[in-house]
Structure 1
Amino acid sequence: MVYAQGALCRRLARGSVPPDGRVRITGLPRTLDPGSLRARVLGASGVRVTEARVEIEAEPLGPDTRASEGLRHEVERLRDAYAAAAERRDRQQKLIAEVSGLRPVPPGRKREDPHRRTPVDAWLELADFVDERLTGLHARLAELEEALVQAEHELSVAADRLDRASTDAASTHVETTVSAVLTLVGTADAEVETTTETEPGSESGTGSGVEVELEYGVPGAVWVPAYRLTHRQGDGTGRLVLRASVAQRTGEDWTGVRIALATADLRRRTDLPKLRSIRIGRRQAAPAPSGWREPPAGLADLFTGYAGAGPRPVRVRAPGAAASADAPPVAGGGGFMSDPVPPPPPAPQGYGAAPSPELPVPGSAYGSSPEAFRRAAPDVARSGPAQPGGRPRGGGMPFAGAPAPAAMAPMAPGAAAAPPPPPPPPGPPQPSGDELDYAALLLSGPEEQAARRGRLFPASSFDAVAVEYRRRAEAVAGLPLPGHAVRPRESAGSFDHRFDAAARADVPSDGTWHTVTVGEIPVGLRTEYLCVPSVEPTVYATLVLSNATDQALLAGPVEVTVDDDFLLTAALPTLAPGGVRRVGLGPAEGIRVTRRTNLHESTAGLRNNVTVLDHRVHVELANGLARPATVEVRERVPVSSESDVRIEERADWTTPPEGAGSEQHAPGTRVWRVDLPAGGTAALDGGYEIRIPAGKALVGGNRRS
């Protein structure tokens, strides 16, 4: 299901349930949103899903296992070839400049020496030599420039192919495998054989067994509608084929999948708000939070002996070993060394010992809830496992009792002291969803910070690589739209629509537009001709489309084919269910229109205090086509905002209908509808009078128009 931005994918896994009930489904995209993973068992098999989580693994790849490796090598080879061709061209240009600089230089003459005769033959021979040499050099330069242009063209083509290559395969030397680990409860068999499918209705699989449907959301998929209209002149119906231009960079190729298109926003929240009740009466204690329990008393005393033993010895690296970014500095000499860290804090005297001022410990006011702990020690919550000796990685805080980095550094003159952390909010703690996910909690060991030892913390959910993958995937939202294309959210308005493709399609993950045929939509169709002779004496052919289905037709480009001949590509406006719209086909040369006007000014009233402007309009139509034609002629009469300025019409024209689903017209628009036979003519006469009182009349200026 491709939404206005993003997609919701479904896969099917068939097989038998292993004894432990854990099934791993691999092959998921790297851009998968872990919070959107859903799994359910299809059919009444007596098996249900009790847990579903995402696991990410990485493993190195061989040099020949990457799909884009050949393209990358080809681009590098062509880049080297282009550089070599450019260098040859530059050398040739320098050689031409050197030969062009050859000039005869006469020898120096003293004042007492007589004048010498100029060796004209030598000058001419040098000129002939230079001309002959330059002719050959310029011919070679033309060949080198042509080779350089060819190399540049091949390089640009190869680079474009590499940029448009599918992101389904790994582009680096490390392959990241995203898997969905499911826990099934129910009837179990001896072994499991699972195959992932892209559609629940697929027939491939392992025969009878458990069918599990996996659903997940991915960013990086967009679509815009497009149409193809086939019409035969004289026929009241046509074939309107809905096609969609789909682009996706989700990290997996959609091969042989059923595609549905929706105009909804996948990122829009659909959960209902929680309304808190307000009660009047005796105050009651707040209920205890579900799933949260205070840490046991005396938890810090469990690691007293470990902290008192001092830092762990660190083995010196062997000579020539690669340095690690996380390895501590090593002094020269000796097989072991101690990490230079502050001394461990003194062991507390008992369960009620005073805690360290740097970090909260269990049982303190800051340690009563996860939120308060993170506010008190933000660096600890973000740091990884501690290095030997208690120094945390990633710039974390040291052991409790050790001086903080800010305290050890001298304060700059005039610098203000950091404000103390805000006090925790009153009431019971409110653990988040990550803190209540017990299977993902990790128990901090003795090497962690003093405030984290022996406590459960959620694993870090921040994945910079996943964020980068999603950022690249969402870049498809900035693709240039095809001609006359409109975003579905802009054309759908306040309603959402869904369109299901009739057949399977292939959409690779290359970030370019691919055309997918959705289906045929029956529409009412008739040909009419439209002209506004007061603006332009030209008749335009139009197709009047009426939507009799229960789905809206979104705005987009439509390729019009009349009598099996391609006519043009026009812009189709949004056509609501039951609505009628026009699609312009360009000027109709077979129908001519002529307009003549006449104005007569007079006075009326008891004292001739009313100016009467009598406008006469005469329109002639001539049908030169070999078939009947319906022509709509539009005129416009003035509209007055003054009650004493009257406008009287004298014509058989009509006012166009207004309302939902009708075409918008300017105020004062009037319409003639004329049915012209083949080769026939028609004359239309109309007019209106404008009665202006003397007090409203204009003095000077153009009062006639």
Structure 2
Amino acid sequence: MKSEETPRWASALDAVVVYAQGAMCSRRARGSVPPDGRVRVTGLPRSLDAGSLRARVLGDSAVRVTEVRVEVDAEPSATGSSHALRQEVERLRDAHGAVQGRRDRVLARIAEVTDLRPVPPPRKREDPHRRTPAEAWLTLADFVDERLTALHDRLAELKAELDRLDHELTVAADRLARASTDAPSAHVRTTVCAVLTLDGTGEVELELEYGVPGAVWVPAYRLAYRQSADRGSLVLRASVAQRTGEDWTGVRIALATADLRRRTDLPKLRSLRIGRRQPVPAPSGWREPPAGLGDLFTGYDSAGPRPQPRTSAASPIAVGGPVPPPLPAPPAYSGAPARPGEPGSAPRAQADGPDRSTAYGQAPPQPLARPRGRAGGAPAPALAAMAPAAGGPPPPPAPSGPIAPPPPPPPAPVTGPPRPSGDELDYAALHLSGPDEPAARRGRLFPDAPFDPVAVEHRRRAEAVTSLPLPGHAVRPRESAGSFDHRYDAVARADIPSDGTWHTVTISEIPVGLRTEYLCVPSAEQRVYGTLVLSNATDQALLAGPVEVTVDDDFLLTAALPTLAPGGVRRMGLGPAEGVQVTRRTHLNESTAGLRNNVTVLEHRVQVDLANRLARPVSVEVREQVPVTSDPDVRIDERADWTVPDDGAGPDHHAPGTRVWRVDLPPGGTVALHGGYDIRIPAAKALVGGNRRS
């Protein structure tokens, strides 16, 4: 009744920051602070992370937020589009089942009519053979043919109707699967509210920030430029998909490449001192459990067990699913614990949770059981059986082998102040165990949160969006961003429904410098390829992704844009250029040189012919490969005007031995490039009986 009296403030989604996986949403609510300072802000999604909820007061108001927590309410859902789609799917499924049942009955009737055949009456041995009149056979055949014709016509109608219902059911199920998850999936809607406690009075505006799973994005671009210009317009877009359970309508979108689940707390560096040992100070805020904590629940235990809800004994899973095993109770606090890592350390108290192996329903590792008996590990019954009877022969000698040593006595506990872990000091994440918990847990604080199967199911459905197939040439932001994180803010508000499909959002326009160059490697392929050399002069990185290239207002192609760091220069391929032709011719001449003709000279000559058939001047880069040797006796003499490329000056990385010609061709112009090299091989280094010309 108290929750009904608490005023409810409606909230509206204002901004969303989409990370590599997940998103941070900001909602705003406005109202007047009640006298008791407690308000309920509604509209939060069911899949939110309760530990990420933050609230603050906007503006210069003197009101402050002193407490914020999450509560889940249930209310009847209103009839919406998703409810209508679900009813349509159920109606079509029922109609499909009814038509399928009628079709099966018609098939059974056809089988019965097909099996109709004349059966003669039984004849005695002394009776003569009787002739069956032909009219009876013909009458039966006409009856069977008439019935089968009617049944097959009915079967054709049912098959056509069944195919139509199959198609309609498939379409309706697909529409329901693609519908927004903002609508409830049942007749009862579970809503999440933030209960806030405010200190102050007056009209205030609140901002709530929370994290949700089930949101991903990949970058995409659209490049438009003129062939005569040295700059272009690169529009940064993003393909965003979300299934968070709430529609993002008219929100400010921002994209970030950071990992939302990465820890951001700073590590605590403990000092190492040389000298006399000093006692470790007790952690701030930690207190031992009060004495007599178990007597607090005496009245609760004396009231008897709580009545259990009625469930079906035959199918207990149909009501609540499989019941997990109860968590084992940790040992009680027996004194001041020792320091971590030292033997004999006592368990922690109050804020100490169970062991990680028991926190998920698994039994802790047990020591190997040792049979009781004498030294040597033999059990007592076995020793009694081996004891000699009165006057009997002595027992056989014990088998030789390693004997397990007795267990060492437990060391005395080391006294000292407690040292709880960081999880136990995270007071915002601690939960108080109720009276229904085991005796060693109730009334104490533990870092493990209560299990909410409904919230887990909502998060599982939301995280299914991470398995969506990527668009063509798309790359995940974490893969292309490398070790740096970037953020991109959209210039306008956008609408993204919670349907789990890709939606394109325009982020901003980035000016880039570009020039068109043509590249060819005639030794590998006698074809010229067009390339765009992009330079990023802004302080914002461009991540790898698909780019739609438009030249002179005409769509050219969709290419893959490489990651372009601030101030970087990269080359992007545009495909073959049919207007520029290249031809390569080679000539090899073998001779000998030296005082005794003991040096083999392989003279290579290369000629490359270029022709520009375009109506504009072009710049062509021709690449050739010169052999590289690590033997000082083998000498390579180059005879050409090509140049050695500098990897630091251009956008490409060149292999050793690469040589480059750069030629500017006017419209309709041609040029012939001549080059070559001589390979001088001493006779001692020559390959005998092999092909040394290749």
Which of the five TM-score ranges fits, normalised by the shorter chain?
A: 0.7 to 0.9
Partner of 1:583, secondary structure, is strand
2:570 maps to 1:581: yes
Deviates more, 1:105-114 or 1:520-529: 105-114
Task: State yes or no: 1:80 paired with 2:94.
Answer: yes
Deviation at 1:516, TM superposition (A): 0.5
Who is 1:500 aligned against? Answer: 489
Q: 1:188 aligns with which of 201, 213, 236?
A: 201
1:56 aligned residue: 71
Q: Which residue of 2 aligns with 1:168?
A: 182
Distance in 2 separating the partners of 1:626 and 1:49: 70
Match of 2:469 among 466, 480, 488: 480
Give the drift of 1:230: 1.7
Equivalent-residue separation in structure 1 for 2:254 and 2:439 (angstroms) = 54
Task: Quote the Cα distance in structure 2 between the aligned partners of 1:234 and 1:670.
Answer: 29
User: Is residue 2:337 matched to residue 1:323?
Assistant: no
Structure 2 counterpart SS, 1:537: strand
Change (3 A) 1:220 1:703: same
Per the alignment, residue 333 of structure 1 pairs with none
Structure 2 equivalent of residue 242 of structure 1: 236
Q: Which residue of 2 aligns with 1:406?
A: none
Q: Report the CA distance between 1:227 and its aligned residue.
A: 0.9
Instruction: Look up the match of 1:195.
Output: none
Aligned to 1:230: 224
Return the offset for 1:105. 9.3
| Structure 1: distance between partners of 2:691 and 2:117 | 78
Do the aligned partners of residues 367 and 82 (structure 1) sit closer, same or farther apart at CA in structure 2, a change above 3 Å counting? same
Where 2:526 maps in the other structure, the secondary structure is coil
SS at match of 1:157: helix
For the pair 1:428 / 2:417, whether they are aligned, the reply is: yes
Structure 1 window deviating more from structure 2 (78-87 vs 28-37): it is 78-87
Deviation per residue, 1:570-619 (Å, 9 max, x gap): 11111222222232222222222211111111111121111111111111
SS in 2 for 1:170: coil
Do structure 1's residue 22 and structure 2's residue 38 form an aligned pair? yes
- Give SS of 1:68's match: helix
Alpha-carbon contact 2:581-2:612 (below 8 Å) kept: yes
The 5-angstrom pairing of residues 54-203 of structure 1 reads 55-62=70-77, 64-65=78-79, 68-91=82-105, 143-185=157-199, 187-189=200-202
Query: Comparing 214-223 with 11-20, which one deviates more in the overlay?
Result: 11-20
Provide, for residues 556-576 of structure 1, a one-character-per-residue CA deviation record: whole Å limited to 9, x for no partner. Answer: 111122232222211111122
Deviations 1:153-204 (A, max 9, x none): 221221122222222222123322222223332x413xxxxxxxxxxxxxxx
Deviation at 1:100, TM superposition (A): 6.8
Instruction: Give identity over the alignment, percent.
Output: 71
1:662-681 alignment, distance < 5 Å? 662-681=651-670
CA distance in 2, matches of 1:148, 1:444: 56
The match for 1:523 among 507, 512, 515 is 512
Give the aligned partner of residue 350 of structure 2: 370
Deviation for aligned residue 1:298: 4.8
SS in 2 for 1:215: strand
8 A contact 1:360–1:373 mirrored in 2: no
- The alpha carbon displacement at 1:286 in A equals 3.2
Q: Give the C-alpha shift of residue 367 in structure 1.
A: 8.2
Residue identity opposite 2:34 in structure 1: P
1:269 partner letter: R
Normalising by structure 2, report the TM-score: 0.76
Q: Does the Cα contact within 8 Å between 2:423 and 2:447 map onto a contact in 1?
A: no
Partner of 2:326: none
Q: CA deviation at 1:83?
A: 2.8
Do the aligned partners of residues 93 and 287 (structure 1) sit closer, same or farther apart at CA in structure 2, a change above 3 Å counting? same
The answer to whether 1:655 aligns with 2:644 is yes
Report the residue type matching 1:498 in the other structure: R
The change in CA–CA distance for 1:132 and 1:457 in structure 2 (over 3 A counts) is closer
User: Are the aligned partners of 1:532 and 1:635 in contact in 2 as well (CA < 8 Å)?
Assistant: yes
Task: Give the match's secondary structure for 2:88.
Answer: helix
Tell me the distance in 2 between the aligned counterparts of 1:302 and 1:80: 57
1:549–1:577: 8 Å Cα contact kept in structure 2?
Answer: yes
Q: Could you say what the CA RMSD is over the residues aligned between the two structures, in angstroms?
A: 4.2
- Equivalent of 1:565 in 539, 554, 558: 554
Structure 1 residue 599 corresponds to structure 2 residue 588? yes
CA distance in 2, matches of 1:305, 1:553: 67
- Partner of 2:184, secondary structure, is coil
Q: Secondary structure at the match of 2:456?
A: helix
Q: Deviations over 1:126-148 (max 9, x none)?
A: 99998898777666655544433
Is the contact made by 1:299 and 1:362 (CA closer than 8 Å) also made in structure 2? no
For residue 289 of structure 1, give the secondary structure of its aligned residue in structure 2: coil
Deviation per CA, 1:413-462: give whole Å up to 9, x if none.
Answer: 99xxxxx99998854334566677499765866x8765567666789433
| C-alpha separation in 1, matches of 2:87 and 2:120 | 57
Question: Structure 1 residues 691 and 212 mapped into 2: Cα distance closer, same or farther (>3 Å)?
Answer: same
TM-fit CA distance, 1:294:
3.4
Distance of aligned partners of 1:585 and 1:299 in 2 relative to their CA distance in 1, 3 Å threshold = closer
SS of match in other structure, 1:619: strand
Q: CA deviation at 1:274?
A: 0.6
Alignment length (residue pairs): 610
Secondary structure in 2 matching 1:148: helix
2:290 and 2:132 mapped to 1: Cα distance?
116
Which stretch shows the higher mean deviation, 625-634 or 297-306?
297-306
Partners of 1:46 and 1:599 lie apart in 2 by 89
> What stretches of structure 1 of length at least 5 have no aligned partner?
190-208, 327-356, 384-394, 396-412, 415-419
Are 2:272 and 1:283 equivalent residues in the alignment? no
Q: Is the 8 A contact 1:58 1:174 kept in 2?
A: no
Q: Distance in 2 between matches of 1:77 and 1:94?
A: 26
Q: CA deviation at 1:659?
A: 3.1
Q: 1:686 aligns with which of 675, 678, 692?
A: 675
**Distance apart, 1:116 and its partner CA:** 9.1
Cα distance change of structure 1 residues 514 and 117 upon mapping to structure 2, 3 Å threshold = same
Superposed displacement of residue 225, structure 1:
0.5
Q: Choose the corresponding residue for 2:53, options 37, 42, 45.
A: 37
* Contact 2:333 2:349 survives alignment (8 Å): no
CA 592–369 in structure 1, closer or farther in 2 if over 3 Å, else same: same
Q: Which residue of 1 aligns with 2:615?
A: 626
